[in-house]
């Protein structure tokens, strides 16, 4: 199978590339192909002739989307449609990464794949509109909604918490937003399996279990062996430019029906902490090699 990954230099893309073994994989960053450039995209897809395209490239700064709406829609909606049209032109399947932010957060039970989209912020709107346009173009495309991504390949919530915990006497984290933390290594593995199963339509792909950001932060600090106190606060006390859904837990029923299961977020966090230590240790060793004392 030939696979082309757009967004290979991002948090998820960095996890996808090494996990996708046994197939012919081309990983492209925005420098290789800006998804806003339809002509360049078609050229790249014509060259790689993929069976599957994974679109992991996106403008993911949720607060930044509020003040840069034109850019957000150009990348997340129009760029996604460019990729979809290029895929359709060569008969390739498409895996599009979407978000829990397509929902309004007013439910109190996990969101199912057919629940009504009602995004409250610009980022969610860009993803929701992209979903609609992609499935209208080809119902055979696959949309994988996920949430609260973390991993060692870039900026993420656990990394921020650990850095703050090492420098502050205490942390304050919101306790009225509930969702599913998702380790990119586990998501990458699920995506590979879904593509090999020729999945289509909408799938929710997150680690099992849910928590609030406060509960997530508490577990991050504990798992890292730190003693920094973590205190709960409300979203009102920590106001941000973009609204966040109060409840965005995603049901894994469709994912499981396809024979794919993901481990708990606690298990993913444990492996993330271990991987982060190894990454930092390797970086320190490299620094000592380049700049010996």
Catalytic hit among 123, 183, 247, 272: 123
Cα angle 185, 186, 188 (rounded to 5 degrees) comes to 65
123 is catalytic: yes
| CA-based radius of gyration for the chain | 19
DSSP result, 232-271: EE-TTTT--SS---SB--B--HHHHHTT----BHHHHHHH
Spatial separation of the C-alpha atoms in residues 80 and 145, rounded to whole Å: 14
DSSP H helical ranges for the chain: 11-19, 38-48, 62-67, 69-73, 80-90, 122-137, 157-165, 184-196, 213-223, 253-257, 265-290
- 26 within 8 A of 5, measured Cβ to Cβ: yes
**Token pair for 231:** 């205190």
**Active-site residue set:** 123
């Amino acid at each position: 199978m030939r696979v082309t990954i757009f967004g290979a230099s991002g948090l998820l893309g960095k996890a996808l590339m090494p996990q996708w073994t046994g197939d012919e994989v081309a990983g492209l960053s925005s420098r290789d192909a800006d998804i806003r450039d339809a002509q360049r995209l078609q050229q790249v897809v014509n060259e790689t002739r993929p069976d599957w395209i994974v679109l992991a490239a996106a403008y993911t700064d949720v607060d930044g989307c509020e003040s840069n709406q034109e850019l957000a829609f150009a990348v997340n909606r129009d760029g996604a449609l460019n990729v979809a049209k290029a895929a359709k032109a060569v008969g390739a399947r498409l895996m599009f990464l979407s978000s829990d932010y397509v929902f309004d957060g007013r439910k109190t039970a996990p969101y199912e794949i057919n629940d009504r989209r009602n995004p409250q912020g610009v980022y969610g709107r860009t993803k929701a509109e992209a979903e609609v346009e992609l499935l209208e173009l080809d119902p055979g495309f696959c949309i994988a909604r996920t949430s609260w991504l973390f991993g060692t390949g870039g900026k993420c919530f656990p990394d921020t918490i650990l850095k703050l915990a090492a420098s502050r006497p205490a942390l304050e984290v919101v306790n009225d937003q509930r969702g599913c933390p998702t380790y990119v290594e586990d998501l990458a593995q699920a995506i590979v399996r879904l593509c090999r199963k020729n999945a289509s339509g909408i799938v929710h792909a997150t680690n099992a279990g849910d928590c609030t950001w406060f509960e997530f932060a508490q577990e991050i600090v504990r798992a890292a062996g730190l003693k920094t106190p973590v205190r709960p606060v409300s979203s009102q006390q920590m106001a941000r430019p973009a609204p966040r859904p109060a409840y965005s837990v995603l049901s894994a029923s469709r994912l499981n029906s396809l024979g794919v299961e993901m481990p708990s977020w606690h298990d993913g966090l444990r492996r993330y902490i271990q991987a982060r230590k190894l990454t930092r240790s390797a970086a320190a060793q490299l620094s000592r090699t380049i700049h010996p004392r």
